Structure 1
């Protein structure tokens, strides 16, 4: 073992001990509406500590990875110290000493400017690559194939799509369809590429990262919706429904969107008010959905609606429907039925994440065939559960999107810092620049390592906690990394003609959708920790 690896190992073990003590506190006093601040901090730190463990597991491969593991663990320890200061008793700590006190020298070593300078030198030499990927030959081929596509088809138009809030070109959607992008997690028997291997979801993660590196709004998010609707149909649909819908989704012949959130019900899914009332051979939908990304181009809308008339039934009164509609370009659309029912959409202007467009969708007496209720009679009242199961994969996919955005930001920062002279010297010659680059690389490496191991855990059916933790951590990290990259660009970083400004505003949405940061921390992570959820990868446990 290198000295860095020894230090990192002891530091991560100490961090895990502290999180274990804090989790025991949660078991006694779980998060509630009256007690949220400390549980949120405990959950957030647990996500970083889990990532530190996964990055540490790569440490034996090389000195570079051992150094990154030490740097990230030291950063996590510093963050933990800030969160516990003055609140030791509320964390379940004794207020005098913790396991971290015994490894204070390791924290100091991992935060020493000279040490960070060494890490930065490697990052600069590698052009912004944080660490080796450790992919199999097959996955490396997948990565290179989609990187080539992203470089040729997505990057050249990404800034124009963002600036003009334009539609995603058909060349991108059709190209990804031909490459099988929309069937990565759909079982092979229904026309997809999922065959049950241990790296099944890792392939989706690799593809997502490479597409998001080119553009979050024009490519990286195209997989998310088929991922969600495909999982819901696979797990909850009848055999006839699987054979009717999944092959068309897998080939990209039918594009997808998800309609869950409402103007007054975001994370509180159980309170949604859009109704579905049975009328003969149809269900009649009435209500308004919002933040329905890609709802214009989509042919299938996955709609969560209240099928039980009693609002008191809460989430037990919700069902999932597949609403079929024509594909529309642009920012507005409407479908009118012969009987007078209608569905319409209006795109919401957003700071970033443009190209796919996020819509407010209104259903007014819109009729849906009874056969389009997922699971038919057995699916009645199961919509909430199917939706939550489907969101587990999407959380993982969102973490991969965050990693792709961060990777792009680091590469742009390295490239600009090399070329930019300041006070007669290259920007890369300044210690603070190198410190920023080193810390950015360590956060990316940790999130990438966690995403990979979480993918395998979810494939094995054990990844509920890991999916929430890696989503929460990676999305928060993406905001910070893109901010640092923009800062290194100086005034140029604020100009829309520089791609780093697009990355910055795109990253901001990541902690909001697919499970808001606070909801994941309090209602998923903290609750799992209180139940004894393992914060290590050996047994890793979305909205």
Structure 2
């Protein structure tokens, strides 16, 4: 075994032992539970990186160990571990954090602009190459303009992705899709590398609504909705969050009241990304008027509407029902446009309820199942943003001279670039592993972990890449400024960082 791989393996094995013990011993203090959950995500990624690159695995594992040591210090009893828990790997951690070692790792990254090998099959490499070429031709040339001017996504981008089958990656073959989560991860990364707001998030909503319909819809509903989604003929948006109810989905108040053969929807939804261009809105509403029913009183509806461009839209039905949307101005993540949507006695047919009568009260569960896939997809979005930031940082560091030396020749620059590469490689390896776990029928824990880790990592990587650009990094003329503000949203949507840690990851760790 390679010496660096042996060192990395020793570090990872001890970190796993600490996390396993802490997960079963830690008290209910939220601060400790958050730290244990967050470190479990980092350690899980370190495990996956062992099979990809020995140098990056050692660098990453050593940084994770240093982070864990900082969170552990002074709280050992609350973690349920001894103060000497990490003493056995001190030499290995020192080797992975040695500045000279980081410089050697950076040398390779500076030469390739890559964060280590991907380990993809020949078929997936062909998929990646095709999407990267499409991104280079159609997305990257328009990305900064779309961001600066908060424009709509051009139709040729949407049509091109539809032609390549990108909207059907989470939809079963029988309904016109390919149902391939590994391809979804690869495609999402490449699109997000080009632009999160103009491309990387386009296939998230079809993934969420497609999963909900596949798992909860009747056969007639699947055949009605899924082929149109998979082909890109019908675009989608998700209306779950409300102004007063974000992560606490079970507390939403939007109501669905039965009226003869119809349902009438009333309420306000927010952060409904792409709700203007969408033909289908996936609306989570309360069908049981008893608020005590909580999440058990929620159901999912597919609400059909015309597609609108721009930042506002409104509709009025013959009976007086109204639906309207207003785009929320945001720091980044532009192009998709996130809307506040108001429904007032908006009438939909009974057939709009996913699962019909059997779907009553199942909306929360279907939504949560769909979010598992969405979290995986969001992790891939984060990896794509990070990869783009790394490439820009490398290019700028090579060409910029500081104190009569190329920026890339400075040791601190190299340390930053090496750490960026290690983080990206770890998150990418973990995303592939999580995709396989979800495909196998479980993977809820892994999807939450990789989403939490990669999205936090994206903030750090884009921040460091922007810092290397100096003042130019703060100018919208340079793409790194777009990546920086886009990355900030990743830890908020599809499961906020803290909620994933406390409500999804920590409880599942305790039950293992």
Whether TM exceeds 0.5 here: the answer is yes
Task: Summarize deviations over 1:392-448 as a string: whole Å, max 9, x none.
Answer: 100000000000000000000000000000011100110000000000000000000
Task: Summarize deviations over 1:15-36 as a string: whole Å, max 9, x none.
Answer: 001101101114xx3x4xxx21
Which residue in 1 is equivalent to 2:11?
A: 11
Give 3-state SS (helix, strand or coil) of 1:508's partner: helix
Alignment match of 2:255 (pick from 246, 250, 275): 275
Alignment match of 2:64 (pick from 46, 61, 76): 76
Q: Does 1:22 align with 2:2?
A: no
Which residue in 2 is equivalent to 1:477?
A: 457
Output the CA distance in 2 between the equivalents of 1:18 and 1:365: 54
> What is the CA-CA distance between 1:132 and the residue it aligns to?
1.1
Alignment match of 2:84 (pick from 92, 97, 109): 97
Alignment match of 1:46 (pick from 40, 48, 56): 40
Give 3-state SS (helix, strand or coil) of 1:262's partner: coil
Task: Summarize deviations over 1:140-195 as a string: whole Å, max 9, x none.
Answer: 1100000000011000000000000000000101111111110111111111122x
Which residue in 2 is equivalent to 1:205?
A: 185
> What is the CA-CA distance between 1:390 and the residue it aligns to?
0.6
Which residue in 1 is equivalent to 2:367?
A: 387
Which residue in 2 is equivalent to 1:290?
A: 270
Matches within 5 A, 1:133-532: 133-194=118-179, 200-532=180-512
Task: Summarize deviations over 1:31-63 as a string: whole Å, max 9, x none.
Answer: 4xxx210000000000000000000122xxxxx
Which residue in 2 is equivalent to 1:2?
A: 2
Output the CA distance in 2 between the equivalents of 1:270 and 1:7: 46
Give 3-state SS (helix, strand or coil) of 2:489's partner: coil
Output the CA distance in 2 between the equivalents of 1:77 and 1:142: 36
> What is the CA-CA distance between 1:93 and the residue it aligns to?
1.2
Structure 2 segments unaligned to the other structure (5+ residues): none
Give 3-state SS (helix, strand or coil) of 2:486's partner: helix
Give the CA RMSD over aligned residues: 0.6
Q: How many residues align?
A: 512
Output the CA distance in 2 between the equivalents of 1:36 and 1:193: 41
Output the CA distance in 2 between the equivalents of 1:355 and 1:462: 33
Output the CA distance in 1 between the equivalents of 2:367 and 2:229: 17
Alignment match of 2:98 (pick from 108, 112, 134): 112
Output the CA distance in 2 between the equivalents of 1:241 and 1:377: 13
Output the CA distance in 2 between the equivalents of 1:503 and 1:291: 20
Output the CA distance in 2 between the equivalents of 1:103 and 1:416: 36
Output the CA distance in 2 between the equivalents of 1:497 and 1:421: 20
Give 3-state SS (helix, strand or coil) of 2:495's partner: coil
Give 3-state SS (helix, strand or coil) of 1:509's partner: helix
Task: Summarize deviations over 1:473-502 as a string: whole Å, max 9, x none.
Answer: 000000000000000000000000100000
> What is the CA-CA distance between 1:462 and the residue it aligns to?
2.0
Give 3-state SS (helix, strand or coil) of 1:368's partner: strand
Give 3-state SS (helix, strand or coil) of 2:275's partner: coil
Output the CA distance in 2 between the equivalents of 1:144 and 1:335: 42
Output the CA distance in 2 between the equivalents of 1:317 and 1:24: 33
Give 3-state SS (helix, strand or coil) of 1:510's partner: helix
Structure 1: 4+ residue segments shifted above 2 A: none
**Superposition TM-score, scaled by structure 2 size:** 0.99
> What is the CA-CA distance between 1:335 and the residue it aligns to?
1.1
Q: Which has the higher mean CA deviation after the structures are superposed, 185-194 or 282-291?
A: 185-194
